[in-house]
Structure 1
Amino acid sequence: MTPVDRPRVTVGLPVYNGARFLRETLDSLLAQTFEDFELIICDNASTDDTPQICKEYAAKDSRIRYERQSENVGAAANYNRTFELGTGEFFKWSAHDDLCRPRFLEECMAAFDEAGGNTPAVVHPKAVLIDESGELIRADTDELALDAEDPVTRFRHVIRNVRAANTVFGLFPRNVLEKTQLIAPHEASDWILLAEIALNGPIVCLDDVLFERRIHDDASLRAIKLRGGGRRETVAWWDTRRVRLRTLVPFDVRTSYALFRAAARAPLGRRQRVRAWMVVPRVYWTRLIRFHGGRLKRRLRGESLNSPAVISGES
């Protein structure tokens, strides 16, 4: 692809056995009013009708490129493969079961074009949560808007407040994502990426609701938890290679290490970097104590830990 016909936006759609909702998602992306984009679909060795659906849509629209993994490589590697294959100046991930309203890309691109010299690190719209039938569950309250000049202030705010991490489905400048580790092969890597993104620039949240996040019992990690799957199964979902390890690094230790690494990679001065490192024990570990304390209280009250709030990380 030459620079002349290079699209401004790449949409990366990783999918594994997503036939149930895939057509609806593809239709929502192809109905975007902003048309200068390519759609990269990476199929993680699906065993349902996903390949047939992808090939059908690719034959109808030249903006679609379809690649199929020869074996299941885990969600993280499949997500990142869509980024590697993209050529656009801007990049957006799309889950196979979520919906983007028609003006999603147009409004996000307008925010970048109007930003001037203070380019955002990500632009995302407000979101609502929908069920398997597309019916409204509730408005999403996890709307990040961080225009603070101090990157450590933005870093602290994300670690303290993000839950559902819907912002990870916003629109990023490609050159910002290239500075990060993308989606790492472990739990919570989506909001760890957002914390790292916050160190690289402002986060803009649009006023309009343009994103519909689908919540259903067949959704990846939620499905694992609801059927009683343990940590080994969860780890395998992120990275099929890691489950072969005899010792699995505890979740909290791995997450803390990832946040330290994010601060080490970011374009910070020495003093700012030290401040960012100090945020991890002061903010993240405090949040962990509250979270595990909340789980203990629910256990003592005899409540289920498989409720939507617990599964999404909300305490």
Structure 2
Amino acid sequence: MNVDIYDFELPEDLIAQTPLLDRTASRLLTLNKQNGSIQHHNFKDIVDYLNPGDTLVLNDTRVIPARLFGVKEDTGAKAEVLLLKNVEHDTWEALVKPAKRIKQGSVLVFGEELKAIITEEGDMGGRTLKFVYTGIFNEILDRLGQMPLPPYIKETLEDKDRYQTVYAKNEGSAAAPTAGLHFTEELLDTIRAKGIHVAFVTLHVGLGTFRPMSVDRIEDHVMHEEYYTLPQETADIINETKSRGGRIIAVGTTSARTLETVAQKCGQGPIVKSSGWTQIFIYPGYKFGLVQALITNFHLPKSTLVMLVSALAGRDAIMKAYYEAIDQEYRFFSFGDAMFIY
């Protein structure tokens, strides 16, 4: 399949630049994957589409302030680093700018308390670097780092917490699992009160979020690795839900990819706790093992995320829904409106 079949024109003014004051005030487009019917709602109405005995699976990763601005130690030239993956201890994979001038052996300085030594060079601005500092790294990062907002967001984010879900817990992401941004604690309490289980997985969003597909054929694309964890408590809830005939509903594509990674590992047996690195790439033709419904945002043209939702609902149904969302002036991407595929 050619990547271009997932292209569409999106007016720039539909790209949401700031989050709404009320997280639950977003709009909600629902898509029935069986008959293709589309309806329009407020996000709070999601409760009406969830049944007692269903399980919502949310990604509790926490975004780190992963964008650092500093200088090269030898020349004083400006340098930018975007942390993507903690390899081990103080060693990270990152994207750097300007990549042509930041080579292996370069030393970058961030204020008076943090330095980074470039230890390896990769492609497309990728570098491996080792940090040198005194104190606690996460505290230094909180002071010096900025939230790594996607490049299509031009506005300054005044409140860092608005790029975190209310249940964010495990630090390590270079981007937020944005479908979860629509939930508040009050809405989650309402969902639980209806008899719907809420379970958590962790997937630290990494390099693949920031790199466009560079191939023409979808089948030739290789996803970058991201670290995931599915705890035994969540495995138990999933197994019980399946045994009772309830649905497994992923909140966001990151939760979906985690669930499907574990489903592949467990095969026909019960779901058990699992952790590791995943490169799973879900596109049409894929047969889902766990995910039956999905809450998601509206994604970029020709992105792997559009392909994932098309695998669940069908390309034609997704394209129809996207064009209707554009016609109805829905807000797109990270701070935008939501879609429920069921």
Tell me the TM-score normalised to structure 1 length. 0.31
* Higher gyration radius (CA): 2
Larger RCO: Structure 1 or Structure 2 (Cα < 8 Å, ≥ 6 residues apart)? Answer: 2
Relative to total residues, which structure has the larger strand share, 1 or 2? 2
Relative to total residues, which structure has the larger helix share, 1 or 2? 1
Tell me the TM-score normalised to structure 2 length. 0.30
